[in-house]
Structure 1
Amino acid sequence: METSNQIDYQRIEKAIEYLKMNFKEQPSLEAIASHVHLSPFHFQRMFKEWAGVSPKQFVQYLSIEYAKGILKEQNGNLADVAYETGLSGTSRLHDLFIKIEGMTPGEYKNGGQQLLINYSYAESPFGSLLVASTSKGICYMAFSDDSDQAFAELQQLFPNANYQQLLDQLQQNALHIFSTDWSRLSEVKLHLKGTDFQIKVWETLLTVPSGGLATYADIANIIKKPTANRAVGTAVGSNLVAFLIPCHRVIKSTGELGQYHWGATKKTAMIGWEAARNTISK
C-alpha cells in the first residue's frame, strides 16, 4: 500500500513532467494544480516542500535554461529567444536573466564579453588555488595544483570575458580568511550567480561557524524546506567559491563527511584544521 509521502512524490513528479512539456505556455498555478488534481493552495505548498522553489520559480528556471540553449546554439536575437521561450517580450527575458543568472541576456550570449575579471594564484593551508573577481566581488575561487587547468575552468564560465592576472584588494580581503578571524568575513564581497534557492542555501552556509558542522537536513530545516535535502545537496555542490562559502562544513546525517567539489581529502583537512584552530583559541 502506498504511503502519503509516495503519493505526494508521484504528484510532484507528474507536475514536473507537465511543466517540462508545457513551460512555453507559462502555465498558471491553477492549471498546474488541476493537472495533478489538487487545489492551487495545497499544490503550491506541497511543490515548495518537495522542490525547494515555487511552481512559478520552477517555470522561470526551465524558461531560462531553454533560452540559454538557444542563445548558445542558435545565436538567435533576443526577441526571437523571448518568443521561443514563451515570454511576453525581451524585457521579461531581461528581467529573468538578471534575477536568475546575475547578468543580462546579452552578457550571457556574449559569454561575458564586457566583463573584466581579475585573477591571481595563491597558496593556502590546503594547497594552491585560483581566485578571481569582478568589480563587484569574488566570482570564483577554486583549489587546483595545475594553474593552467584552473584558469581554463574559469574561462569556461565566461569564455569571452576580458581577463587580467592581477591581485586586487577584493582578492586580498578574501585570502585573509585563511589567516584571520572568520568574523572578518564581512570585508569579503561576493559576485555570484545562482537561483534564489541556491543563494539562500549559500547564505545559510555562511552562518555555520568555523569549526562547526551542519547536515544537509539542518540546512533544509533552516531555510524552511525540510523535505528538500536533495535540492540542498545540489545547491551545495554548485558552489564555485571554495572555503569562503563553507560547503566543506556540511556532512551527511549519518556522520559521514560525504563528497566535496575539490576532493574528500581536502574536506577532511579543512574540518580538522578549523577544529584545531578553535581548540587553540579557547
Structure 2
Amino acid sequence: MSLKVATWNINSVRLRIGLVTKLLERWQPDVLCLQETKCPQGQFPSGPIRDAGYEHIAEFGQKGYHGVAIVSRRPFLAQATKPFCGKEDCRHISVTVAGTKPITIHNLYVPAGGDEPDPKINEKFAHKLQFIDELEAWFGKGCVPKGHESILVGDLNIAPLEHDVWSHKDLLKVVSHTPIETEGLLRIQKKGKWVDLLRQHVPADQKLYTWWSYRARDWLAADRGRRLDHIWSTAGLAPNCGKIDILKEARGWEQPSDHVPVMASFTAA
C-alpha cells in the first residue's frame, strides 16, 4: 500500500483554497498537512476539500494567526494536538492513519522568531528557542507510540544545513539559519531518531530550497531561497520513501504562498 504525504505552509487557507484544491487534483497526495492556515476553528473551508475527495479533516485553528490542519483520503484512527510554551497558539496537530503499521503524522508550525536573533531583546526569538527546547524534550521521551511508524512534517522555520540557504556566510546571523537554531533542530532530529527524507534523496552538498521571500522582485531569477519546510520519518519507514518532490512551480501560481509544497512518496506504508 503506497502513501504520499505532502506539507505546505499555505499562508491563509481561505484566501488560497483554490491553490489547495489545485494541488490535490494535480498531485493526488493521500495526506496533505497545512500550516499557517490563519483560520478560526470551525471555519476551515472543508467543502472544496471534500469535493476533491478528501473526506477526513483535522484542524486546529485560531483567528488571524498560525493554525495547522491535516486533510486525508485515509481515515484517522486517532488525532491530537499539543500545546507548547504555555500557549494555545495552534502549532501542532497529529493524526494516526492505518498502514502496514499504524503511522502517526505530526504537523508542526515552529515560530518564525522575528528579525533579531537575540532572545534578550526579542521575545519572538526567545519563544522560538523555548519551542525548540520543548520539542527536543518531548521527542526525547519517545512520543512515537510503540508499534507505530511516524512522519514529522511542517514549516519548521529553520534551514539547518549549509546548502539549505542561498548563502551560508551571509545568513549566519539571520533568523532561521543562526547556529543556535540549526544546532537545536539537529538535536531534535537526533533525539527523536528522525531521518531527514529530503536529504536522504538530495545530498547535503547540493542547494535545496522550499521558500522564497515575497520581497524579491523576481524570486526565480534571484533564487535566494531557504529550506524551511521538512519531512522526516522514523528509521523503519525511511527505506520505503522512494521519492521526494519539491513542487516549485506552485511559487509561480497566481497569488502564491511564499512556501512551496513538499511531498514524500512511500511504498508499503
TM-score band (shorter)? under 0.3
**Structure with the bigger percentage of helix:** 1
Larger radius of gyration between Structure 1 and Structure 2: 1
Q: TM-score, normalised by structure 1?
A: 0.24
